[in-house]
């Protein structure tokens, strides 16, 4: 592709169009899973360098938290593009109250975003793993007739599914008879 250069008369600055990277292809298994009833998408927030949060974290103040970087913001946009390309309708987008999750959920551009405290991290003793995981299972079982997108943290997803998860990775899941959610398919957009 040849980039065209647009220059304003009398100015040295020129603007080059920036191509947005293509959305990652969603595996057929992921798209097929989304076509089935009672299937939801749960994902770890996009790339936010570091681990945990600095001391003094306050949920209402993003400056006290670990946040998405430019690559993380691009990753969230590409994942949203990929999820929209499946054609699956999403009934609600729920997110942890952490800024990196809220920003990921917004950048997905799949619909209005609602904070859901049960999705908040319990890393390093910040929450209650057992109670939050039980409440998340209940939330998913109660939404069997809806398709939710849930943006949360690694610890929450691992507690729910038993699987590790990379930044920005999405799982198509459904609640089975067991205590863990069944992972039907996974997709990881390029960082």
DSSP string of 111-124, one letter each residue: S-EEE-GGGS--GG
Angle (deg, nearest 10), helices 99-108 and 70-85 = 40
CATH number at residue 136: 3.40.50.1240
Q: Which residues, given as ranges, of the chain have pLDDT below 70? A: 1-25, 124-125, 190-191
- 93, part of any domain: yes
Q: Is beta strand 40-44 parallel, antiparallel or unpaired with respect to 170-175?
A: antiparallel
pLDDT for 29 equals: 87
pLDDT for 13 equals: 44
Per residue in 44-74, pLDDT (tens digit) is: 999 999 887 888 888 889 999 999 999 999 9
- Residue 153: closest CA among 81, 97, 110, 76: 97
pLDDT for 22 equals: 53
Tell me the residue range of the domain where 132 lies: 23-49+62-187
> What's the number of domains the chain is made of?
1
Distance CA 6, CA 155 (A): 47
Q: pTM to 2 decimals? A: 0.84
pLDDT for 40 equals: 97
pLDDT for 59 equals: 86
Residues 6+ apart with CB under 8 A from 47: 68, 69, 71, 72, 75, 167, 168, 191
- 10, part of any domain: no
- 14, part of any domain: no
- 57, part of any domain: no
- 55, part of any domain: no
pLDDT for 191 equals: 61
Cβ proximity of 46 and 73 under 8 Å: yes
C-alpha dist (Å) from residue 14 to 3, 7, 8, 9, 21: 12, 4, 7, 10, 22
- 148, part of any domain: yes
Q: Phi and psi at residue 42, in whole multiples of 5°?
A: -125, 135
pLDDT for 144 equals: 87
Q: Is beta strand 92-95 parallel, antiparallel or unpaired with respect to 148-152?
A: parallel
pLDDT for 24 equals: 55
Distance CA 159, CA 5 (A): 51
- 131, part of any domain: yes
- 18, part of any domain: no
pLDDT for 132 equals: 94
């Amino acid at each position: 592709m040849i980039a065209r250069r647009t220059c304003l008369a009398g100015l040295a600055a020129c603007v080059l169009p920036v191509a947005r990277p293509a959305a990652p292809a969603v595996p057929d298994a992921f798209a097929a899973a989304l076509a089935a009833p009672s299937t939801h998408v749960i994902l770890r927030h996009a790339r936010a360098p570091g681990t945990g949060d600095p001391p003094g974290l306050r949920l209402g103040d993003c400056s006290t938290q670990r946040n998405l970087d430019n690559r993380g913001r691009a990753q969230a946009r590409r994942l949203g593009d990929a999820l929209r390309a499946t054609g699956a309708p999403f009934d609600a987008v729920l997110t942890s109250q952490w800024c990196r999750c809220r920003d990921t959920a917004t950048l997905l551009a799949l619909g209005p975003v609602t904070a859901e405290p049960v999705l908040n991290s319990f890393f390093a003793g910040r929450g209650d793993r057992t109670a939050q995981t039980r409440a998340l299972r209940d939330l998913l079982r109660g939404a069997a007739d809806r398709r939710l997108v849930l943006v949360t943290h690694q610890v929450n997803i691992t507690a729910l599914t038993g699987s590790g998860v990379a930044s920005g990775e999405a799982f198509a899941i459904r609640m089975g008879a067991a205590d863990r959610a069944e992972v039907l398919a996974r997709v990881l957009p390029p960082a």
